[in-house]
């Protein structure tokens, strides 16, 4: 079993829909990251959080430490949100353990 | 300022060839990480440097993989006698922090990656 599990693996949505991507982890962590990866490989950090909730524009990330679960929400989705969204967790020394990613496609 | 850069962006190697992949982290970033991302998978940790010290190389898949950061800035990942299973995107990331945690210094900034194809 992977230490970081994401669901769903693939997600297709219509423009304007509310989107949720889930992440569960089984190890002790110091922080959890949500990353966005576009075709071509570039990875951008969206959020880094260790408790509660963070919001940036149309993106919201939440984490429940007791349940070892995090969610990434996208409100009013747009085709430009189409990308792979990756959940990753920090171990104590700093290296990241990644989920396999969720491929999101938003149709106009 | 400039972000993390990697070169080459694409590399095609014949099986058995040696390759060297370069990472230029953000100036002043203490920590540097190498990750390997196979097609359709999430990245996986290879190795970690704090300045010039390689503190963790537990993710290197075999002794054909070697990484260095001799002056605590630029890092090189070398793969000897490449095999087809080495085909992947190799990602480099850097951060200002020196340990895990949720402080701003532990945000990792990623380079664009080097796509290695071994024929």
The residue in chain A having the minimum alpha-carbon distance to the alpha carbon of residue B115 is: A41
Interface of A with B (CB under 8 A): 4, 29-31, 33, 35, 40-45, 48-50, 86, 88, 90-101
pLDDT digits (tens, 9 = 90+) for B52-76: 999 989 999 999 999 999 999 999 9
User: What share of chain A in percent tops pLDDT 90?
Assistant: 80
Q: What is the DSSP string of B25-77?
A: PPTT--EEEEEEE-TTS--EEEEEEETTEEEE-TT--STTEEEE-TTSS-EEE
Give B103→chain A minimum CA distance, Å: 9
Identify the pLDDT of residue A40: 74
- From the list A45, A73, A39, A33, the residue with the least C-alpha distance to A57 is A73
Residues 6+ away with beta carbon under 8 Å from B113: A41, A42, A43, B6, B9, B37, B89, B90, B91, B92
Give dist(CA A39, CA A27) in Å, integer: 29
Give dist(CA B92, CA B75) in Å, integer: 9
Classify burial at A29, counting beta carbons within 10 Å of its beta carbon; exposed 0-12, middle 13-18, buried 19 or more. Answer: buried
pLDDT digits (tens, 9 = 90+) for A22-43: 999 998 888 899 999 988 768 9
pLDDT digits (tens, 9 = 90+) for A11-27: 999 999 999 999 999 98
Residue B117, beta-bridge partner list: B12
Q: Do B42 and A98 touch (CB under 8 A)?
A: yes
Residues 6+ away with beta carbon under 8 Å from B40: A100
Of the CA atoms within 13 Å of residue A57, those in its CB half-sphere come to 8
Identify the pLDDT of residue A8: 97
Q: Do B59 and A93 touch (CB under 8 A)?
A: no
User: A44 contacts in B (CB within 8 Å)?
Assistant: 110
Show the low-confidence residues of chain B (pLDDT under 70): 1, 98-105
Give dist(CA A63, CA A101) in Å, integer: 17
Q: Do B112 and A30 touch (CB under 8 A)?
A: no
Query: Is B99 near chain A, with CB under 8 Å?
Result: yes
Q: Are B81 and B64 contacting, i.e. CB atoms less than 8 angstroms apart?
A: yes
């Amino acid at each position: 079993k992977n230490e970081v599990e994401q669901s769903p693996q693939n997600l297709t949505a219509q423009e304007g829909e509310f989107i949720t991507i889930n992440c569960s982890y089984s190890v002790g962590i110091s922080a959890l990251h949500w990353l966005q990866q576009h075709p071509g490989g570039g990875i951008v950090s969206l959020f880094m959080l260790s408790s509660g909730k963070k919001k940036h524009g149309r993106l919201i990330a939440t984490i429940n430490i007791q349940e070892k679960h995090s969610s990434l929400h996208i409100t009013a989705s747009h085709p430009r949100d189409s990308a792979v969204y990756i959940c990753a967790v920090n171990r104590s020394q700093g290296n990241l353990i990644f989920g396999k990613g969720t491929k999101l496609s938003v149709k106009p | 300022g400039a972000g993390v850069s990697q070169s080459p962006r694409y590399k095609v190697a014949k099986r058995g060839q040696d390759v060297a992949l370069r990472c230029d982290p953000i100036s002043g970033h203490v920590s540097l990480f190498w990750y390997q991302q196979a097609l359709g998978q999430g990245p996986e940790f290879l190795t970690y440097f704090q300045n010039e010290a390689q503190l963790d190389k537990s993710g290197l898949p075999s002794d054909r993989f070697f990484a260095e950061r001799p002056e605590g800035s630029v890092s090189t990942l070398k793969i000897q006698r490449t095999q087809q299973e080495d085909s992947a995107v190799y990602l480099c990331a850097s951060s200002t922090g020196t340990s895990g945690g949720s402080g701003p210094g532990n945000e990792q900034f990623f380079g664009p990656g080097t796509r290695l194809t071994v024929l």
